[in-house]
Amino acid sequence: MTNNTRKALIFGKNGQLSWELQRTAPNDFEVLALGSAEIDLLDRLAVQKAVDSFSPDLVINAAAYTAVDKAESDEQGAFELNQHAVANILDAVESRTGTKLIHVSTDFVFDGKTSEPYRTDDQINPLSVYGSSKAAGESEIISRNLPGSLIVRTSWVYSVHGANFVKTMLRLMADENREQLNVVADQIGTPTWAYSLARALWCAGVQELTKPGKTARIYHWTDAGVASWYDFAVAIQEIGLEQGLLNHQVDVNPITQSMYPTPATRPTFSVMDKSAFEDNYSVQTRHWRSQLKYMLRELLADIS
């Protein structure tokens, strides 16, 4: 480790975003990732000790309660991790001069009752316990107004690591006894490869470390383009067949949300405007379909 090495502390060691953050970290960063086995984020003193002992320049909070439907019957658990743990992280970061914070949030803070991409300053109105708990976490950060702290909202995240929609679709489509698959077509958003999100977060973090601390800010980052879950599933099958991940085709049928009820209400439209992030950090989003192709190539290489 050289004198120019910077330090980044990542909360949420085992999630798909954290996994991508660890493998895409810039070479001049020493990275420490802590999961639930190493730290209890609800223990304020433990969080403070972790931050003080590692002395990070940058803290990235990728830890979250993300079981959207389960949260409807576990409101306490959702708010503990998505709000109270955030407050503990803020306490620890606030005590250190110069340490910057990036907190990852979600499109579920919106109600989806629009037809235009959400801007960062649009009114939030979560429809679910999960969305409400993430909104509460955002509120903790905005109310503290910690200089240099960022909230980055994202959506529909997937990776070669962990469980996600892409891998679920591939598993179902690979079933030789399955002839058809029904997928919701009236929820519109943008799929996001966790690898591209991780790269964007590092880009923002590196640039923030060279700037004087500004007020807390909100940004959006997803891949480019628009899709329904049905569109996403169709693309997964098409590219999966092209790349040899699948060896037979199933009929993918579009259905409505009402035909597939879930405990949590989801926003019908949650496409987000990324222009502020792109302009401020000079990075460009790529279309979700091309990013999906890269991810599936990587998945094929891993299993070959």
Query: Which residues are identified as catalytic?
Result: 130
d(CA 9, CA 118): 30
Say how far apart CA 235 and CA 287 lie, in whole Å: 12
User: How far from chain centre, in Å, is Cα 111?
Assistant: 18
From 239, 154, 164, 236, select the one nearest 189 (Cα to Cα).
Answer: 154
Please classify residue 114 by burial: count the beta carbons closer than 10 Å to its beta carbon, then call 0-12 exposed, 13-18 middle and 19+ buried.
Answer: middle
Structure tokens at 82: 């998505």
H, E, C per residue of 60-95: EECCCCCCCCHHHHCHHHHHHHHHHHHHHHHHHHHC
Name, in order, each residue with C-beta under 8 angstroms of 2's C-beta and a sequence gap of 6 or more. Answer: 28
Strand partners, 272: 118
Query: Beta partners for 254?
Result: 183
Q: How many CA atoms lie within 13 Å of 27's alpha carbon, on the beta-carbon side?
A: 0
Structure tokens at 112: 């989806």
Q: Which of 89, 85, 268 is nearest to 187 (CA)?
A: 268
